[in-house]
Amino acid sequence: MQDNPLADFFRPGVELADLPALFPLLRAREALNAFITLFRGGDDEVLIRLMILREIGARADAPRWSPQELKATFAYLDATKLNTVLHRLRDNELLVWDNDESVYQISTAGRMALAAIATLLGFSDDEDAELGFITAQVAAGQAVGKLSVEALQHLLGRLNELQAEFEQAVLSASEFVIRAAQKKLDSVWHWVEKGTDIIRVITADEELDGPTHRVAQAIGQAQSRMLRMTAVFQRTLNSIQAQRVHLGESGLTSTDIADWLRRQGVQATPLLNGCLHAHPEPAFVTESEMLDIAEYELLEREREQSREAVIPSALDAPTTDHVEVERLLFAETFRDSLGDIKAPQPVADIVLGDNYAQTAYRLSLLALLNDPESQALNGPVADIARLPLHLDISAELAPVNRNGVAQISSGKVKPRKTR
């Protein structure tokens, strides 16, 4: 620990090999040294090293180079600078020198670094190079059986970033922002579809470990949400289009004017001279709001603190058997009185009881005459439904003015004709 400069970055007593975030990097230190060699120093030095190493690696049919071939190929470079770069690549084991044949060739670490850089450069011109590059890494790992959970997490992170960006565009309710987001979705659509196919193959693997399978499922869900954004964009644009203002019969809309003003930039400032003669001066704090806040702070807050939230003790529910028995007796008495009807009689004379409650209960029972569902039951209610009577009632009201009842529906109860 004392002889390792890396330990100076950590607190005393920390074992570097026990850190999960650092251990994979220490294990791949030899492969990472290739990138450290290539990218250490100024930008110009890094570009020259990459150029020379890529040119050496590009000759696949004859991968071994003699010093004379290198000087001839890089004749456009200063000889001293070329030798300095070659010695640096050789000393850091990106180039291997064969003493027997006196030739250079790229080392294993150098070839791996060049392959990774070639993949990165292949996506440098894409509008969303990050999503394409990461998808390519996941596809390559899945194809050769070296699927990386870290690569899957990077893909999931990028998809979530895009989803949040698209949702923010919809929330902005700006046609220009939504169209820009829609254009970006179109540019990444190819990679989302490619990623969907790859994730479908990955999740179908029964030998996949649990953490990798969970990340793959999360990627599939993120891709599904993104695929639905096309419909969301279109619905929002349709809603905005319905709110456009057409300027007379000129064929122009408010969107055309806004688009033109956006393209003018600072040049549009003189166009506004004299357009506004007065501007609103909003009062952000009025007396009403101040009074409401003061009332809460001085009164309601104190009441909430002093209020006791005590749950009352449990009580036995009241017995309701006597209510049901009383209703049953009313129903039986009413049934017996209906059985004596031989001629049409007014509704008021039949249902009027000692009080309003009895009258209302009798009227509700009278409405069950000839009801098929009630006839299928047992008890006094079913007996009333089966009585050979007919209720002829109208929307008009007949005056009563006694026993708590002012008016009642006009009508008659008639015996049902029998053949």
Q: Which of 60, 61, 83 is closest to 71 using CA atoms?
A: 83
Task: For 41-65, give the secondary structure using H, E and C.
Answer: CCHHHHHHHHHHHHHHHHCCCCCCE
pLDDT at 418 over 60: no
Burial of 315 (0-12, 13-18, 19+ CB in 10 A): exposed
Nearest partner of 256 among 248, 33, 35, 406, judged by Cα: 248
Q: Which residue has the tokens 């030998």?
A: 207
Side chain identity, residue 206: E
Note the pLDDT tens digit of each residue in 56-70. Answer: 988 888 888 898 999
| Least confident interval from 42-46, 247-251, 381-385 | 247-251
Q: What is the pLDDT of residues 90-106, one digit of tens each?
A: 888 889 888 888 898 98
Average pLDDT of the residues in 29-49: 86
Question: Which residues lie across from 393 on neighbouring strands?
Answer: 411
Alpha-helical regions (H) of 228-355: 229-242, 254-264, 287-295, 301-306, 321-338, 347-351
pLDDT of residue 319: 61
Give CA–CA dist 229/226, Å, rounded. 5
> In whole angstroms, what is the distance from residue 135 CA to residue 195 CA?
6
CA dihedral for 340, 345, 347, 353, sign (positive or negative): negative
C-alpha to C-alpha distance for 375 and 364, rounded to whole angstroms: 15
Q: Per the structure block, which two tokens stand in for 15?
A: 């074992």
Q: Report the pLDDT value the prediction gives residue 318, as an integer from 0 to 100.
A: 61
- How many angstroms separate the CA atoms of 350 and 391, rounded? 11
pTM of structure: 0.51
Query: What number does CATH give the domain 5-121?
Result: 1.10.10.10
Q: What does the pLDDT look like over 306-361, one tens digit per residue?
A: 666 566 677 776 665 554 555 667 777 877 888 778 888 888 888 888 888 888 88
**Residue 169's pLDDT is what?**
87
Q: How many CB atoms lie within 10 A of CB 43?
A: 8
Q: How far is CA 369 from the centre of its chain?
A: 57
Domain range list for the chain: 5-121, 127-239, 328-415
Q: At 70, list the tokens.
A: 């290198």
**Nearest CA to 202 among 126, 115, 140, 257?**
140
CA 169 to chain centre: 13
Let me know how long the chain is.
Answer: 419
pLDDT computed for residue 1 by the predictor: 41
Distance CA 236, CA 171 (A): 10
Distances (CA, A) of 373 to 84, 279, 336, 343: 103, 72, 21, 26
Q: Are 219 and 203 in contact (CB under 8 A)?
A: no
- Paired residues of 414 in beta bridges: 390
**pLDDT, position 296:** 74
C-alpha to C-alpha distance for 362 and 391, rounded to whole angstroms: 13
Residue whose tokens read 């030095």? 45
For 234, the token pair is 């279109």
CB under 8 A, 24+ apart: contacts of 326-331: 327/361, 328/379, 328/380, 330/358, 330/361, 330/362, 331/365, 331/379, 331/380, 331/381, 331/384
Strand order in 345-346's β-sheet? 345-346, 405-415, 389-402
CB atoms within 10 A of CB 259: 12
Query: CA end-to-end span of the chain, whole Å?
Result: 114
Work out the angle at residue 82's Cα, subtended by the Cα atoms of residues 78 and 86, and round it to the nearest 5 degrees: 175
Please say whether the beta carbons of 392 and 409 come within 8 A. no
Which residue has better confidence, 302 or 391?
391
Percent of the chain with pLDDT over 70: 83
Q: Which residue has the tokens 């080392």?
A: 107
390 three-state secondary structure = strand
